[in-house]
Copies of this chain bind each other. A is one copy, B any other.
Amino acid sequence: MILVNGVANAMVHPADRGLSYGDGVFRTLLLRDAFNANWRRQYAKLASDCARLGIICPDMAVFEQDFTQLDANENAGVLKLVVTRGAGQRGYAMHQPISPTRIVSTAPLPVYPSQCDVDGVMVYVCQLRLSRQPLLAGIKHLNRLENVLARSEWQDPDIMEGLLQDDTGHVIGGTMTNLFAVRGHQLFTPDLSNSGIAGVTRERILAIAVKLGLSIKISQLSLSDIFEADEVMLCNSVIGIWQVRELGQKQWQKGHYVALLRSLLEADND
């Protein structure tokens, strides 16, 4: 099911700035999370990303109206929300306020091997180095060619994710995931001031860690920091948490914190 500005199976104008310039933002979440407490968090992040780009974000209620048109049988699926600046004149300038374009679409849940949740995943270190742009960092915007190129580096179906570093060698996350590492009783996650997407699941895990009283460090992490971690995990709104089982020559056993954080994330619908 695809809704464009609330209209089922509609199409997008070829002069939409989302297409011309990637001038827009998006969210990918479990369909059920549009109908529980996570929706507020997802909307807040969508609105905040729009605000950073000066895009008018449709009201929460407008999306909720769209959701009433979705097929309840698809409840186990993935929901994607896109907001673009809208269809505009030629050229980069925004001459007058234009009406944003809103795309709501559902897709089946991706099928991952069940071992991903049980034993963890094999991860590849991407060759591509992310560029650094503080004005765009953290935003889930539509300029994602770096992710596309990074994801094209491997075809091996046993590799579930690629690890990305920026051009100074700091680890930023996966092509579609945020990253956490545990060492001792401290939880680390990369600083995303210059690159990467600050996802909602990352935010939820940080909030859970605060409640647990874990020591949290948001900082620049090198690949050696990752190799020296006791546990490494990847997260996003669709997969939840995957432990990294294998990265290059390094292998990890099942981790205590991965299991704890995963069970708390599943229980958390505040």
User: Taking beta carbons and an 8 Å cutoff, which residues of A are in contact with B?
Assistant: 2, 4, 10-23, 26, 28, 53-54, 78, 80, 82, 84, 89-94, 103, 105, 107, 110, 128, 130-133, 135-136, 141-152, 167, 175-176
Contact = CB atoms under 8 A, between A and B. Distances in A.
Given A12-B13, A14-B2, A107 B93 contact: no
Q: Taking the full assembly, how many copies of this chain does it contain?
A: 2
A152 B54 contact: yes
A175 B92 CA distance: 8
A145 B11 contact: no
Contact of A90 (B22, B107, B131): B107
B53 A145 contact: yes
A173 to B, nearest CB: 13
Contact of A14 (B12, B22, B142, B175): B12
Contacts of A147: 21, 92
B176 A142 contact: no
Given A28-B90, A94-B148, 17 more contacts: A2-B14, A12-B12, A14-B103, A16-B19, A18-B19, A20-B142, A23-B148, A53-B145, A91-B151, A92-B144, A94-B151, A132-B167, A133-B146, A133-B167, A136-B146, A141-B145, A142-B145
